[in-house]
Structure 1
Amino acid sequence: MTATLPTNTPAPAPAPALEPEPGPRNEPAPPPTSVAPPRLYALDLLRFGAAMAVVLYHTLPVVALRSFVSVEDLVGHPLAKLSAYGWLGVQLFFLISGFVICMSSWGRRPTQFFTSRVTRLMPAYVLAVLITAAVLTLWPDPDPNAHPVTMRRLLANLTMYQFHLGQEHIDPVYWTLVIEVTFYVLFLGLVVAGLTYKRVVAFCLVWTVASFYAQASHSALLSTVLVPTYAPFFVAGIVLYLMHRFGRNLMLWMTLAVTFALAAQSVIEETDARSQRGDQINSTNATLALVAFYVVMIGVACGWFDWIRWRGLVLVGALTYPLYLLHDVIGATIARETLFVLGPYQMLAVTLGGPLLLAYLVYRLWERPAARWIGRNLRSSFAQMRAQGRPRS
């Protein structure tokens, strides 16, 4: 799972009619100019908030268990109550991802889209897999049901498609990445056709309807391709970006309302399943959280948060992905290995701070230089392919 922010944010344009007249908006957008429009810093903050929600959801129960206290005793009742819904941070990630991927893809060629996605996802992911595998090898999980890190499992995890290859995730949070990549593949088809207002609206409508039938058919293949459980979140993000870029109209509001209805059903089903496994949560609170996500993202689309301009949020947003990848297994290992050594609050500080520091080091020392190297060489590869494809005189 993860959403990424481009450097530039296209400025909003007037809203088109439901059937726009012929003109530039009906043609694929031209390549971006060298003028950098304002960045949506609020999205960086939202991404980090979503990541921290997931981190607290995973970390607080582990630290409480190792400290022989309840989560309420560790952090107080209000935070304990909120953290029980931290798993919804993933749904917020997907909502943001739809907005950001549509925004960053406008005016880009398919090769540029492919390069941007690879350079964003793979460097941090590959290193996170290797680090997590090393941690599990040096400090094995004593749980008899834990899966050992074998070479086959490690290699399968490096592809991001380990589950489809019959292997367990080295870190359970990796399941979201397959969903995210599936969205990228679907959206790539739209990028190949050329992004226009009408084509993107059609894509949203077709994916929404198709995912509904995929879920109703109980087809494993269609569910794998169309990810009907999470499609409404991505579609909602795309629709919100269209509102941001072109303005609001009835078609977009209706589509957004449909995505909310489907997303709410997905959240309620997930809440019921988690409550049956022992989580102290209910569907009413989960739905209210979803309402808050939609309201905040509508605010981003409408410019309510354009006053947020702190440049430090660029770094905060950049840490979101490596932190998400590194916090779960490594945090649990830290808590397990510091048992009887640290008190509950010291253990909590180390369990939260250790992955955050590691995420910063991964971003600064590996992710940025690796992304530049991969991007430069992929662009060179595509240039060579285009040159070889030209007819020789």
Structure 2
Amino acid sequence: MTASATPGQVVGLDLLRLAAALLVTIYHLTYLEWADPHQRGSAAAAPFLAYVGWTPWVDTGWVGVQIFFVISGFVIAYTANGRSPSAFVRSRVLRLLPGIWICATLSLVPLLLAGSPLTETIQRYLLSLVIFPTGPWVASSYWTLPVEVAFYALMFLVLCRDRFDRLERVVLVLGGMSTALWIAMLAFPAGEAGDLVTRLATHRLPKQFLLQHGCFFAVGSMIWILREKGPSRVRILALALFAGAGMVQIASEAHQAGAWASLPMSALPAEAAYLLALLFVAASLRWNVAAHHWLGPRAAVVRAMGLMTYPLYLLHQPIGIPLSAWQLRAGVPPTLALLVSVAVIAFFSWVVAMHIEPLVRAWLAPKLQALDRRLPAQWSWAGRPTRPLSGTADGVARA
């Protein structure tokens, strides 16, 4: 089947998004609430001690974020290819902001009911609405959004230079810088050099410049480039190096998380989940046409599940944590409490994704287009399609 005849939706990526969101959700609802040293021993943490026995199975669910970054690297490379800078910005604004505005607003209710100070809550709310890089936000999971925006900004700069046909070089630099950091982590475990590398690997500022997580975006983007242009030694080697750097980052994060919580944490489950996710991405792309033929009209249901993951990610802490705490205090068995919480979050996420977000996007889209029309004449280049990265591999399907 030719590229043009291939379905645009990669159903496997929608399913992987959902799996990654559930990993993070279960991690927060079963482990972090009692393991967080800032509230360990408090009344808020007490109900979640019911999940202590689940620790070996849930304590590395944060790896869902790294999986999200890989998917984002693939999807953003695909959606930016050949677009004008202004069209790319519009698409990202319409994808990110309506969900944040809706979910942050919904999050106000449980925060205020829990007794959060009004001034502090309003501050968190406003900073969440604009994706302020350093927070504080209405939920700690919002930290990934500024990292995503940094990757979008890099793609925007490439489009502004009308050099998307040279995306491969940009990805090699991005992934190479991040890989160099994680190689240095292995090479300098101690001493002054080790202290410097550790600061780079843990500090907030390098995170905003993609130094820590750039390898994951690079993995996703390189997978897309391989599909578009076919394999080469450089591409395969780069993909292997970037994926290996991701393994080191995951091991480092597990070590840091264990030290932070003063609890033993093995990186093996997170690394296994990451490798399985990469294999699942490859399988999803290889058999996407067959998956569409098998699913038929049900592919739309899978697409809805993929769209739900964004509000699910944004709502699972503000809604899921107080709901779980209430159930556990009432004596609901831990497994049932978790299932009920996830079901309620999923319901709200479906309502947001299927009914509210489309309305907000429909309201916002013409306003963004109107801004485009007001661009000064000297900025007319911003509205012109850019040179795409042209595929050369026979039969390679687009996402």
Q: Distance in 2 between matches of 1:115 and 1:233?
A: 24
Residue pairs, 1:85-234, within 5 angstroms: 85-140=60-115, 149-161=120-132, 163=134, 167-194=135-162, 196-197=164-165, 199-211=166-178, 223-234=206-217
After superposition, the Cα gap between the structure-2 partners of 1:250 and 1:38, relative to the gap in structure 1 and judged at 3 Å, is: same
Q: Which moved more, 1:314-323 or 1:201-210?
A: 201-210
Residue pairs, 1:358-377, within 5 angstroms: 358-377=348-367
Which amino acid in the other structure matches residue 9 of structure 2?
R
Which amino acid in the other structure matches residue 104 of structure 1?
T
Q: Verify the 8 A CA contact 1:236 1:259 in the aligned structure 2.
A: yes
Aligned to 2:305: 316
TM-fit CA distance, 1:123: 0.5
Aligned to 1:66: 47
TM-fit CA distance, 1:196: 4.2
Give me the TM-score of the superposition, normalised by structure 1. 0.78
SS at match of 1:184: helix
CA deviations on 1:304-350 (whole Å, 9 max, x unpaired) are 34322222111000100000000012111112233443512442233
Q: Distance in 2 between matches of 1:234 and 1:304?
A: 23
Q: Distance in 2 between matches of 1:46 and 1:336?
A: 28
Aligned to 2:243: 260
**CA RMSD after TM alignment:** 3.0
SS at match of 1:338: helix
Answering whether residue 316 of structure 2 is matched by residue 327 of structure 1, we say yes
Q: Verify the 8 A CA contact 1:214 1:226 in the aligned structure 2.
A: no
Q: Distance in 2 between matches of 1:359 and 1:132?
A: 12
Q: Distance in 2 between matches of 1:384 and 1:148?
A: 37
Q: Which moved more, 1:103-112 or 1:364-373?
A: 364-373
TM-fit CA distance, 1:147: 10
CA deviations on 1:23-56 (whole Å, 9 max, x unpaired) are xxxxxxxxxx9x8844211111111111111111
SS at match of 2:211: coil
Structure 2 counterpart of 1:354, from 308, 326, 344: 344
Q: Which moved more, 1:244-253 or 1:207-216?
A: 207-216
Q: Distance in 2 between matches of 1:67 and 1:341?
A: 12
Aligned to 2:256: 273
After superposition, the Cα gap between the structure-2 partners of 1:278 and 1:352, relative to the gap in structure 1 and judged at 3 Å, is: farther
Name structure 1 gaps, 5 residues minimum: 1-9, 13-32
SS at match of 1:168: coil
Which amino acid in the other structure matches residue 178 of structure 1?
P
TM-fit CA distance, 1:168: 2.0
TM-fit CA distance, 1:239: 0.4
Aligned to 2:277: 293
Structure 2 counterpart of 1:282, from 266, 270, 273: 266
Q: Which has the higher helix share?
A: 2
TM-fit CA distance, 1:296: 2.1
Q: Distance in 2 between matches of 1:380 and 1:195?
A: 26
After superposition, the Cα gap between the structure-2 partners of 1:226 and 1:213, relative to the gap in structure 1 and judged at 3 Å, is: farther
After superposition, the Cα gap between the structure-2 partners of 1:366 and 1:388, relative to the gap in structure 1 and judged at 3 Å, is: farther
Q: Distance in 1 between matches of 2:125 and 2:310?
A: 20
Answering whether residue 364 of structure 2 is matched by residue 381 of structure 1, we say no
| Percent identity for Structure 1 against Structure 2 | 26
Q: Distance in 2 between matches of 1:228 and 1:154?
A: 28
